Amino acid sequence: MASSEDTEITLGTGKLLVLFFGLVAICAVFFALGYSLGRKSEPALAAASTAALPQASPNAKASGSSPAAPMSFYKAVEQKDANPELTPPADNKSDSTAASTNTAAQTQAQPTGIDPNTTLPSGGYFVQVAAVSKEEDAQALVDALKKKEYPAFVAAQNTADKLFRVQLGPFTETKDAEAIRTKLIGDGYSPILKK
């Protein structure tokens, strides 16, 4: 029988340190390579979206305008196509209440921006979709919600927290507001009910 000899490898402290720092150096090289490639691809993406923007909107500004700022979250949501396969079917009762609230809201003049001279709805129940710090984000979300036929508006800014609240309503009864809130949850939002 042939005996198998086990050999034991012993590394000293110096060899272990060289091995450790060698692995750290290799990881640092790959990190730097990925970081530099990622930084270089961001301006290319911004240039591609800026180049596509004048073709998409016929009312674009002159070519001498400043380059477009990176897209914010709500502008990305606005451009996102809704997938009808992911939207759950709504029962007829909620459709009729949503349709009646939509027609009631369309008869009222809903503000498209924040104008101190415009009277905003004050009574009833509201469904708040978001509270954001930038007015353009709030307006983009309102536009996206209006495309989906929600009675959305930007509520008056509170001086304490300086947030722009995107709300739907007003609704005279809680069940109407809850129906819209449930529909918004189905569309992927996280709304809250406010009085």
Phi, psi angles (nearest 5°) of residue 184: -65, -40
Write down the pLDDT at residue 88.
54
Pairing type for strands 192-194 and 125-132 reads: antiparallel
> Cα–Cα distance between 157 and 111 in angstroms, integer?
14
Query: Token match 């930007």: residue?
Result: 154
For the chain, residues with pLDDT lower than 70 are 1-3, 42-122
Q: Please, which residues have CB within 8 angstroms of residue 100's CB and are 6 or more apart in sequence?
A: 176
Write down the pLDDT at residue 194.
86
CATH assignment, 90-194: 3.30.70.1070
Mapping DSSP to helix (H, G, I), strand (E, B) and coil, where does residue 71 land? coil
Write down the pLDDT at residue 72.
62
Burial 57-77 (b: 16+ CB within 10 A, else e): eeeeeeeeeeeeeeeeebbeb
Q: How far is CA 69 from CA 45, 50, 113, in A?
A: 12, 9, 20
Write down the pLDDT at residue 139.
92
Write down the pLDDT at residue 80.
53
CB 11 within 8 A of CB 19: yes
Pairing type for strands 164-171 and 152-154 reads: antiparallel
Write down the pLDDT at residue 15.
92
Write down the pLDDT at residue 76.
57
> Cα–Cα distance between 146 and 128 in angstroms, integer?
14
> Cα–Cα distance between 66 and 61 in angstroms, integer?
10
Mean pLDDT (the chain, rounded): 73
Write down the pLDDT at residue 14.
92
Write down the pLDDT at residue 26.
97
CB 171 within 8 A of CB 124: yes
DSSP string, 122-150: -SSEEEEEEEES-HHHHHHHHHHHHHTT-
